[in-house]
Chain A
């Protein structure tokens, strides 16, 4: 059931005033119109989903709702009152709080401090901390989401997922701050979570609905349909339609997002495309040991995608980094196409034709202030140089080709990458390994984290293409489904050891449950 006009109030939301209403919001950035007259209505006690491609303007819209982005035009109404939001504090005073897409915790403070940051309340009196109160306040928040995290642990000792929990606990402080029912905004909260935690989060979201309104963003459309009451679709900075989740299917949503139709296997998993495996594996890892992993054996054939799954702390990430020479190893032998792989540093790995896409894009993946073009050609200088000299024309042609191929939304190849939306940034990082075309082994750590379904599909297609052209791929997938969908074989790791291997040939895929059994 799709309506392309949203002014007519939904029958089920009978409340006289909307919790939040946005009219004609416009925001320009140099070269981009991030928001182009967005309208949005959030009813009391509902979960509104927000869907749209990377760069559709979701984060910008949401940041405008918490006073971080000043819109160029348009109005924001909170509970029937027109407001101007100039800061996070003002938004919080109106009962609007947000969990940001990029993690935003202070790493060297305790979890408790992060949770109460900016609204310490009784935790601080006359500028002095009262740690007991502080911990109690934080514990209350953590209890709400049933988290076991020690409030006095330093945040940088927590895992990614734990930190995400702290963020959610933090935004829930808004309940204490206002007497009105709050509006809580979650911008891609699940992209870094595992399925168990996602369930916890959804329980929270459903609990929140009892007394608050929630705006929820995710690129996993099934999730959106699962947890939301209504989904608003954004495209090119405009609201293009609304879907009631009771009846919609992901495909329909997706069609609205991209504005065209089409149907294809999401994972492009067609057995026919795969060539016969050579006898000799391309990558052979024997007894690899490091600080967080022991005796890992692994082999990957050319053209094969091997997924590694495991719970947090399984050490799979460090194995990946070690194979790229970014983490020291204590023992073990690694060969690539029969030659010993030099693990002494990242440069040697690059030279040997190994590529690595790190999970923490913002810190490790990209050089924020540098241009899209420079980020894309940073590794494979050969692709833009002739001899020792950089050829700007050669670079421009090449970069534009890849911008087009991967549908990277950027005003220009010279735009600083930090100005792009998260998904588009990830595409640039991926492109970095593809420009030279001499890659033999690709290590992908959550390569689709934060990507919209179209982009993700594009990445999957790329991975397939690469595999078919003979690249061996190690994949730490974003979800078990992704691992199953993409991999030819899956290695299960726990406590730093490879504990099982599950084959998943095309047509005979295991279910996520099969894997979970192996993981615990």
Chain B
């Protein structure tokens, strides 16, 4: 449970009516699955259980973790976000043209990163605005914004690969602190910030509430539209940062920097226990999901599963993991969409 409910209850409270069945197990499922899969790989593969590989897994999870942070807020509202590829691509190209690079004389450094993230946030905001103003489902607005982002990125790309020479940005991927790349620490920072937003900010709590019962917020006099736009903007900012991180890793701005991250992040969030219908889950759930997915990807390579089969085996395990996680909470009249 990531709800702060338990965090600061120091007074002794009257006994509660018995808790709902399955509450604790529901949240324990994904971490247990993570542990089991991790142990399994560690048993099978000596290469997997090295410190170096664990560092590698953490590093490899960094970008996905940041994307998932963003998408989690959207999923919590019960919306969906497919804009990551476009937004990341636009941010990646933008940042690579703003920091020191081979295409132009810009050398904006950290400011360039900031501008790229703002651009991404603006694209996210666009999804949100289209959702609340045109009343178009987020599935479509984000798909549209993704295409717009890719278009903007292709325009900026202009046929010549922008490569970055900015030492700071390149250093993020290369330099290490306590064995982990700076990028990984950035991802940790994002998860922490995401968690704080989720638990301690009105934005985060309202996002959660919108997923739970949007109509009730309106009855209580809360205008949900600004919060929805804000959530998509926040998600866009996270994607933008992720795009910057990919650029840092590759030392080059790629239009395709975000390819595949949309479904990967949704998978991670859902595997971690965030419901697509909204109102449940959260950043910490998603973080577990990200690790689970990354451990799987890494482990299958380590174990030496044929590249032909890897996708399939991964799909199978994800389904099995979710199935195992839902067994304890299965109820007769439970709604599964």
A–B direct touch in complex (beta carbons closer than 8 A): yes
**Assembled-state Cα–Cα distance A327/B211 (Å):** 26
Contact A129 B213 (CB under 8 A): no
Contacting A128 at CB < 8 Å: which of B18, B202, B209?
A: B202
Contact B21 A106 (CB under 8 A): no
Contacts of B333 in A (CB 8 A): 321, 326-327, 346, 364
Contacts of A106 in B (CB 8 A): 209, 212-213, 216-217
**Assembled-state Cα–Cα distance A118/B224 (Å):** 10
Bitwise, B183-223 to A at CB < 8 A (1) or not (0) is 00000000000000001111101001101110111111110
Contacts of B217 in A (CB 8 A): 106, 117-118
Select the residue from A118, A135, A312 with max chain B CB neighbours within 10 A.
A118
Task: Find residues 95-146 in chain A having any chain B CB closer than 8 Å to their own CB.
Answer: 100, 104-110, 113, 117-120, 124, 127-129, 131-132, 135
What's the nearest-Cβ distance from chain A to residue B169, in Å? 30
Interface segment among B5-13, B95-103, B148-156: the answer is: B5-13
Contact A108 B7 (CB under 8 A): no
Contacting B18 at CB < 8 Å: which of A87, A100, A113, A313?
A: A313
User: Any chain A CB within 8 A of the CB of B23?
Assistant: yes
User: Any chain A CB within 8 A of the CB of B3?
Assistant: yes
Task: Find residues 269-310 in chain A having any chain B CB closer than 8 Å to their own CB.
Answer: 291
Bitwise, B1-44 to A at CB < 8 A (1) or not (0) is 00111111100011011111101000000000000000000000
Contacting A92 at CB < 8 Å: which of B16, B21, B221?
A: B221
Contacts of B215 in A (CB 8 A): 104
Contact A89 B13 (CB under 8 A): no
Contact B205 A129 (CB under 8 A): yes
User: Any chain A CB within 8 A of the CB of B280?
Assistant: yes
**Assembled-state Cα–Cα distance A132/B3 (Å):** 14
Task: Find residues 341-359 in chain A having any chain B CB closer than 8 Å to their own CB.
Answer: 345-346
Query: For residue A108, which residue of chain B has the nearest CB?
Result: B212
**Assembled-state Cα–Cα distance A120/B203 (Å):** 13
Given A88-B221, A100-B219, A153-B16; A105-B201 close (CB under 8 Å): no
**Assembled-state Cα–Cα distance A377/B200 (Å):** 48
What's the nearest-Cβ distance from chain B to residue A157, in Å? 5
What's the nearest-Cβ distance from chain A to residue B59, in Å? 32
Contacts of A110 in B (CB 8 A): 3, 5
User: Any chain A CB within 8 A of the CB of B332?
Assistant: yes
Contacting B222 at CB < 8 Å: which of A68, A118, A312, A346?
A: A118
User: Any chain B CB within 8 A of the CB of A159?
Assistant: yes
Contacts of A113 in B (CB 8 A): 205, 209
User: Any chain A CB within 8 A of the CB of B253?
Assistant: no
**Assembled-state Cα–Cα distance A346/B78 (Å):** 28
Contacts of A327 in B (CB 8 A): 331-333
User: Any chain B CB within 8 A of the CB of A152?
Assistant: yes
Contact B212 A107 (CB under 8 A): yes
User: Any chain B CB within 8 A of the CB of A176?
Assistant: no
Contact B209 A117 (CB under 8 A): yes
Contacts of A135 in B (CB 8 A): 8
Q: Interface range on chain B: under 10, 10 to 19, 20 to 34, or 35 or more?
A: 35 or more
Given A118-B221, A127-B201; A325-B4 close (CB under 8 Å): no
User: Any chain A CB within 8 A of the CB of B236?
Assistant: no
Contact A129 B17 (CB under 8 A): no
Select the residue from A88, A108, A118, A312 with max chain B CB neighbours within 10 A.
A108
**Assembled-state Cα–Cα distance A455/B188 (Å):** 60
User: Any chain A CB within 8 A of the CB of B279?
Assistant: yes
User: Any chain B CB within 8 A of the CB of A148?
Assistant: yes
User: Any chain B CB within 8 A of the CB of A501?
Assistant: no
Contacting A154 at CB < 8 Å: which of B3, B203, B332?
A: B3
Contacts of A170 in B (CB 8 A): 220
**Assembled-state Cα–Cα distance A328/B218 (Å):** 36
Contact A105 B205 (CB under 8 A): no
User: Any chain B CB within 8 A of the CB of A150?
Assistant: yes
Contacts of A152 in B (CB 8 A): 5-6, 9
**Assembled-state Cα–Cα distance A153/B3 (Å):** 10
Task: Find residues 63-114 in chain A having any chain B CB closer than 8 Å to their own CB.
Answer: 68, 87-89, 92, 100, 104-110, 113
Contacts of A92 in B (CB 8 A): 221
Query: For residue A364, which residue of chain B has the nearest CB?
Result: B333
Query: For residue A117, which residue of chain B has the nearest CB?
Result: B220
Contact A345 B332 (CB under 8 A): yes
Contact A105 B216 (CB under 8 A): yes
Contact B279 A150 (CB under 8 A): no
**Assembled-state Cα–Cα distance A100/B215 (Å):** 12
Contacting B7 at CB < 8 Å: which of A68, A131, A291?
A: A131
Task: Find residues 239-269 in chain B having any chain A CB closer than 8 Å to their own CB.
Answer: none
What's the nearest-Cβ distance from chain A to residue B267, in Å? 22
Given A109-B209, A326-B333; A128-B216 close (CB under 8 Å): no
What's the nearest-Cβ distance from chain B to residue A472, in Å? 23
**Assembled-state Cα–Cα distance A85/B325 (Å):** 48
**Assembled-state Cα–Cα distance A110/B18 (Å):** 16
Contacts of B19 in A (CB 8 A): 157
Select the residue from B9, B14, B216, B218 with max chain A CB neighbours within 10 A.
B216
**Assembled-state Cα–Cα distance A110/B201 (Å):** 14
Contacts of A120 in B (CB 8 A): 202
**Assembled-state Cα–Cα distance A104/B217 (Å):** 9
Bitwise, A20-54 to B at CB < 8 A (1) or not (0) is 00000000000000000000000000000000000
Contact A89 B202 (CB under 8 A): no
What's the nearest-Cβ distance from chain B to residue A355, in Å? 16
What's the nearest-Cβ distance from chain A to residue B7, in Å? 7
Contact B219 A104 (CB under 8 A): yes
Contacts of B332 in A (CB 8 A): 321, 325-328, 345
Contact B14 A150 (CB under 8 A): yes
Contacting A118 at CB < 8 Å: which of B8, B205, B220?
A: B220
What's the nearest-Cβ distance from chain B to residue A132, in Å? 6
Query: For residue A127, which residue of chain B has the nearest CB?
Result: B202
What's the nearest-Cβ distance from chain B to residue A501, in Å? 26
**Assembled-state Cα–Cα distance A127/B19 (Å):** 31
Query: For residue B214, which residue of chain A has the nearest CB?
Result: A106
Contact B208 A108 (CB under 8 A): yes
What's the nearest-Cβ distance from chain A to residue B327, in Å? 13
Select the residue from A107, A109, A110, A157 with max chain B CB neighbours within 10 A.
A109
Query: For residue B333, which residue of chain A has the nearest CB?
Result: A326
Contacts of A328 in B (CB 8 A): 331-332
Bitwise, B275-288 to A at CB < 8 A (1) or not (0) is 00001100000000
Given A109-B212, A110-B3; A157-B16 close (CB under 8 Å): yes
A-B contact pairs, 5 of them (CB 8 A): A108-B212, A117-B220, A127-B203, A132-B8, A150-B14
Which chain A residues have a beta carbon within 8 Å of chain B's beta carbons?
68, 87-89, 92, 100, 104-110, 113, 117-120, 124, 127-129, 131-132, 135, 148, 150, 152-154, 156-159, 162, 170, 291, 312-313, 321, 325-328, 345-346, 364
Which chain B residues have a beta carbon within 8 Å of chain A's beta carbons?
3-9, 13-14, 16-21, 23, 199-203, 205, 208-209, 211-213, 215-222, 279-280, 331-333
Beyond A104-B215, A119-B221, list 16 extra A-B contacts (CB 8 Å): A88-B219, A88-B221, A89-B221, A106-B209, A106-B212, A108-B208, A113-B209, A118-B217, A127-B201, A128-B200, A129-B205, A135-B8, A148-B14, A157-B16, A313-B18, A328-B332
